A and B are shown apart, each in its own frame.
Chain A
Amino acid sequence: MVTAAIWPALDYSRVPYRLYHDDEIYAREQERIFRGPVWSYLGLDSEIPEPGDFRATWVGDTPVVFNRDKAGAVKAFVNRCAHRGALVRRELSGNAKEHICIYHQWCYGLDGSLMAIPFRRGIRGEGGLEPSFEMRRHGLRPLNVDNINGALFGTLAENPEPLEDYLGPPILHQLRRFLDRPVRVLGYNRQRIRGNWKLYAENTRDNYHASLLHEFLVTFGLDRSTQTGGVRMDARHRHNITWAEADSDTDELAHEAYAGAGVRNDFLSLKEPSLVAFRPERGDKLNIAITSLFPSAVFVQISNSLAVRQIRPRGVGEVEIFQTMLGYEDDPPEMTLHRLRQANLVGPAGLVSMEDGEAIEIAHRASRPDLDRTTVIELGGGGVISDRDYRVTDVPLRGFWSYYAELLGIEPEGAVR
Chain B
Amino acid sequence: MTADHTRVCDLLAEYGALIDLGKFYEWLDLFAEDCRYQILPRENFDRGLPAALVYCDSRAMLEDRIRALREANKYNIHTDRHVIGLPRILDDGLAVEAPFAVYQTDQEGETRLFATGLYRDQLEISGPRLKIRDKLILLDTFAIPSLLATPL
Residues on A lying within 8 angstroms of B by beta carbon are: 93, 185-194, 213, 215-216, 219-220, 268, 270-272, 275, 320, 325, 336-337, 340-341, 343-344, 347-349, 351, 354-358, 361
Contact = CB atoms under 8 A, between A and B. Distances in A.
A279 B82 CA distance: 39
Given A188-B41, A192-B143, A354-B147, 12 more contacts: A186-B51, A188-B43, A189-B41, A189-B144, A190-B41, A193-B147, A216-B73, A336-B50, A343-B51, A343-B55, A348-B146, A351-B65
B57 interface: yes
Given A271-B60, A340-B50, A344-B55, A216 B147 contact: no
Contacts of A185: 49
A349 B52 CA distance: 10
Contacts, number: 123
Contacts of B54: 344, 349
Given A216-B72, A351-B68, A354-B149, A191 B50 contact: no
Contacts of B44: 187-188
A354 B61 contact: no
Contacts of B72: 215-216, 219-220, 351
Nearest to A186: B51
A194 B146 contact: yes
19 contacts: A186-B51, A189-B142, A190-B142, A190-B143, A191-B144, A191-B147, A215-B73, A268-B71, A336-B50, A337-B57, A344-B55, A348-B144, A349-B53, A349-B148, A354-B73, A354-B147, A354-B149, A356-B147, A358-B75
A189 B53 contact: yes
A195 to B, nearest CB: 9
Interface string B112-134: 00000000000000000000000
Nearest to B149: A354
Contact of B65 (A188, A344, A356): A344
Contact of A192 (B58, B65, B145): B145
Contact of A219 (B56, B71, B76): B71
Chain A's interface: helix, strand, loop or mixed, by majority? Answer: mixed
Contact of A275 (B39, B61, B142, B149): B61
Task: Choose among B47, B60, B144 the residue with the greatest number of A CB atoms under 10 Å from its CB.
Answer: B144
B135 to A, nearest CB: 15
A219 B64 CA distance: 12
A349 B139 CA distance: 13
Contact of A271 (B41, B51, B63): B63
A93 B75 CA distance: 33
B68 A216 contact: yes
A213 B75 CA distance: 10
Contact of B146 (A187, A188, A357): A357
